[in-house]
């Protein structure tokens, strides 16, 4: 059985445990990001398998530069009504099934990110249940395409059962299964 794990959290300035959005982005990409007078350099780490910047159609080319993109996000946060506790980013952690080869894992992650984050406004907290359901559905499709017999474990999903059942039922009514 494939592990169904999906966790999302807000990276905000008011939560010291959130870390810096710039530092988190540099770490995740294993890059050097210079912005706001700070340098976050994780280029010496060599444990990253794949990275990609996904942008919506029509996005300016400068957004492919992580330093420029994160600098712009921080400037926007500074302009918000509460810059001291602005929510600058979301951190997403999802398990990739071992039963898929590397290319299938990358396709699963890219398809999910494209549908869940790039093609829509992702700033609403209510989307978490929808994202988990979408991750589960994408995981199931990827396992099926790979000819794998196992299916996503409902263990992680059942932890939040009432809210997720409501979201699943609402999705079924809208033809989103």
Walk me through the domains of the chain, giving residue ranges and CATH numbers. 6-173 (3.30.930.30)
Mean pLDDT of the chain: 77
String of b and e for 118-156 (b: at least 16 CB within 10 Å)? eeeeeeeeebbbbbbbbbbbbbeebbeeeebeeebbeeb
Give pLDDT, residue 92.
84
pLDDT at 30 over 80: yes
Q: Is the confidence at residue 177, as pLDDT, over 70?
A: no
The token pair that represents 60 in the structure block: 């300016």
What number of other Cβ atoms are within 10 A of residue 40's Cβ?
A: 21
Catalogue the E-assigned strands of 13-165. Answer: 32-35, 38-41, 87-94
* DSSP, res 157: H
- What number is the average pLDDT over the span 73-89? 72
Residue 54: pLDDT above 70?
yes
Tokens, residue 26: 């540099």
What is the percentage of the chain residues whose pLDDT exceeds 70? 71
Averaged pLDDT for residues 13-34: 76
89 within 8 A of 21, measured Cβ to Cβ = yes
Query: Strand pairing partners for 87?
Result: 12
CA–CA separation, 123 and 10 (whole Å): 10
Model pLDDT, residue 172 = 43
Q: Is 44 exposed, middle or buried (0-12, 13-18, 19+ CB in 10 A)?
A: exposed
pLDDT tens-place string over residues 39-48: 889 999 999 9
Lowest mean pLDDT among 39-43, 85-89, 93-97, 169-173: 169-173
Which pLDDT tens digit goes with each residue over 110-166? 998 888 888 766 566 667 778 888 888 888 888 888 888 877 765 444 444 455 555
Report the percent of the chain where pLDDT is more than 90. Answer: 16
State the Cα–Cα distance between residues 128 and 53, nearest whole angstrom: 21
Whether this prediction's pTM lies above 0.85 is answered by no
């Amino acid at each position: 059985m494939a592990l169904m794990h999906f966790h999302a959290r807000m990276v905000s300035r008011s939560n010291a445990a959130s870390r810096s959005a710039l530092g988190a982005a540099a770490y995740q990409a294993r890059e050097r990001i210079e912005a706001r007078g700070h340098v976050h350099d994780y280029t010496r780490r060599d444990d990253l398998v794949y990275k990609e910047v996904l942008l919506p159609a029509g996005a300016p080319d400068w957004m492919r530069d992580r330093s420029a993109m994160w600098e712009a996000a921080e400037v926007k946060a500074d302009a918000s009504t509460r810059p001291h506790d602005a929510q600058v980013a979301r951190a997403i952690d999802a398990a990739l099934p071992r039963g898929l080869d590397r290319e299938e894992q990358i396709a699963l992650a890219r398809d999910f990110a494209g549908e869940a984050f790039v093609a829509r406004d992702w700033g609403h907290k209510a989307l978490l249940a929808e994202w988990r359901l979408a991750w589960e559905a994408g995981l199931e499709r990827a396992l099926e395409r790979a000819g794998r017999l196992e299916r996503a474990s409902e263990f992680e999903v059942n932890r939040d059962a009432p809210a997720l059942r409501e979201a699943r039922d609402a999705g079924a009514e809208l033809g989103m299964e």
